[in-house]
A = this chain, B = another copy of it.
Amino acid sequence: MVRWEPDAAGRLRRAALELFAERGVEATTVAAIAERAGVTERTFFRYFRDKREVLFGEQEAFAGLFVDGLRASAPDAAPLEAVAAGLRAASAFFTDDARAGARLRSTVIDAHPGLRERELLKMSDVGDRMAAALRERGVAEPGASLAAKSGIAVFHAAFAAWISPGETRDLPELIGEGLRELRAIAGRNG
């Protein structure tokens, strides 16, 4: 029988981020994470395969938000509009009470070249999947890739702003600003 542990996954995630930030990822053991979260190691492994999965475990669900959001846009939406719908759908993942955790996660990842690469590859994969979804609805290359990758650049810049110290605007607002900035830059006079 599984013992009831209110939000054990959430507590494990917070404990892991704190320890990663304090000691670094290498020096943090699963035992230490479980101890700080007040659960057993066995409980840790019920939720996560290893300590890195605490940082990247929601990868598949996250990538799916972009693609599903894009697919849910009007079939005749212009390519960048469809991409923008994907970005807005993904930004729902990052509510305001997730901002502190996202800041901590980002600090941990930025301190570790291997994790930064993994994060970069994750976003590149999201871009490839949005480009594929655009091609499925008839957008030709290079338009599909350019719209998807420019959209990822907008998301990345908006996310960096969202977790920057003192920033209070929400992520959808920052994404909207990024899209306007992209349109200004790529405008005929840009």
Taken together as a complex, chains A and B put the C-alpha atoms of A182 and B177 apart, in Å, by 18
Q: Is residue A78 contacting chain B, with contact meaning CB distance below 8 A?
A: yes
Contact call B190/A146, Cβ cutoff below 8 A: no
Contact call B178/A183, Cβ cutoff below 8 A: no
Nearest-neighbor residue (CB-CB) of A153 within chain B: B149
Contact partner of A190 (CB less than 8 A), chosen from B80, B141, B153, is B80
Which chain A residues in 142-178 approach chain B with CB under 8 Å?
A: 142-143, 145-147, 149-150, 152-154, 156-158, 160-161, 177-178
Contact call B147/A185, Cβ cutoff below 8 A: yes
Contact call A185/B121, Cβ cutoff below 8 A: no
Please name all residues of chain B whose beta carbon is closer than 8 Å to the beta carbon of A81 when the two chains form the complex.
Answer: 190
Nearest-neighbor residue (CB-CB) of A142 within chain B: B157
Task: Convert A118-144 into 0s and 1s, putting 1 for each residue whose CB lies closer than 8 angstroms to a CB of B.
Answer: 001100100000000000000001110
Chain A residues within 8 Å of B, Cβ to Cβ: 78-81, 117, 120-121, 124, 141-143, 145-147, 149-150, 152-154, 156-158, 160-161, 177-178, 181-190
By Cβ-Cβ distance, the 4 closest A-B pairs, closest first, are A186-B186, A142-B157, A149-B153, A150-B150
